[in-house]
């Protein structure tokens, strides 16, 4: 049976695929920038893990805040680094980093799975339900793995069905008639599409 929504199983599947792909390049230099980002490969994975954790937190309470993020403490290691609640001791290496990524994905998947359908959590792009946070988490993994693949040189080709469902949930105005993965990369400012130049600013529809 085909699915129309993004769900906990999608989060688990995408995060598992990401961890497996990254384990294959664990011995490479993760201190260099990921794709076009100013963040290093290490920082980019920390950012993804942090987002997955934070999205779980936005849904986890019985009455999530409707006007703000849950106020976890955050830090930056340098001015251009991502602001993080979840970060990894460098002494634990890439194996530790990937353990944290997997754990954060598991937290989001579990929270999405048990979240009541009427529950909404704050995001600056709109109050989102569980399928919205699942879709946002999947986007973070998919597109940042593309950034990482450009630098660490590994194959990353997501399931078109997952990409299509993410597009329907978060990017309903995306241009039609193109490959779903390419379209998702265009929606997040990574590539151009025929007749559509690369975007310099973008947002999704969380509500």
Sign of CA pseudo-dihedral 71, 72, 73, 74? negative
Predicted confidence (pLDDT) per residue in 40-60, tens digit: 999 999 999 999 999 999 999
201 sits in which H/E element: none
The mean pLDDT of 68-75, rounded to a whole number, is 96
Q: CA angle, 201 as apex, 150 and 147 as ends, to 5°?
A: 10
Tokens of 99: 């353990």
Work out the percent of the chain whose per-residue pLDDT is above 70. 99
Assess whether pLDDT exceeds 90 at residue 2.
no
Residue 1: what pLDDT?
Answer: 38
Work out the percent of the chain whose per-residue pLDDT is above 90. 98
Residue 118: what pLDDT?
Answer: 96
Furthest C-alpha separation in the chain: 47
Please give the Cα distance from 126 to 149 (Å, whole number): 30
pTM: 0.96
Tokens of 21: 């792909």
Residue 3: what pLDDT?
Answer: 72
Look-up: residue for tokens 């599409």? 193
Kindly state the DSSP code that residue 75 receives in the 8-state scheme. B
Structural domains for the chain: 8-154 (1.20.120.450)
Predicted confidence (pLDDT) per residue in 135-170, tens digit: 999 999 999 999 999 999 999 999 999 999 999 999
| String of DSSP letters for 27-63 | TS-TTSB-TT-SSBHHHHHHHHHHHHHHHHHHHHSSS
């Amino acid at each position: 049976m085909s699915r129309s929504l993004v769900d906990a199983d999608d989060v688990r599947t995408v995060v598992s695929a990401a961890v497996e792909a990254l384990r294959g390049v664990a011995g490479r230099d993760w201190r260099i920038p990921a794709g076009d980002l100013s963040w290093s490969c290490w920082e980019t994975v920390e950012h993804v893990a942090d987002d997955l954790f934070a999205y779980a937190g936005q849904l986890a309470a019985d009455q999530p805040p409707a006007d703000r993020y849950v106020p976890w403490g955050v830090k930056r290691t340098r001015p251009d680094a991502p602001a993080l609640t979840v970060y990894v001791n460098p002494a634990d290496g890439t194996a530790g980093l990937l353990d944290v990524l997997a754990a954060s994905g598991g937290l989001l998947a579990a929270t999405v799975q048990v979240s009541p359908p009427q529950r909404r959590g704050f995001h600056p792009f709109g109050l989102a339900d569980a399928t919205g946070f699942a879709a946002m988490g999947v986007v973070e993994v998919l597109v940042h793995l593309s950034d990482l693949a450009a630098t660490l040189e590994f194959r990353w080709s997501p399931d078109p069905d997952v990409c299509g469902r993410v597009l329907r949930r978060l990017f309903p105005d995306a241009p039609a008639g193109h490959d779903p993965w390419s379209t998702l990369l265009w929606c997040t400012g990574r590539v151009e599409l025929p007749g559509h130049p690369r975007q310099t600013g973008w947002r999704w529809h969380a509500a």
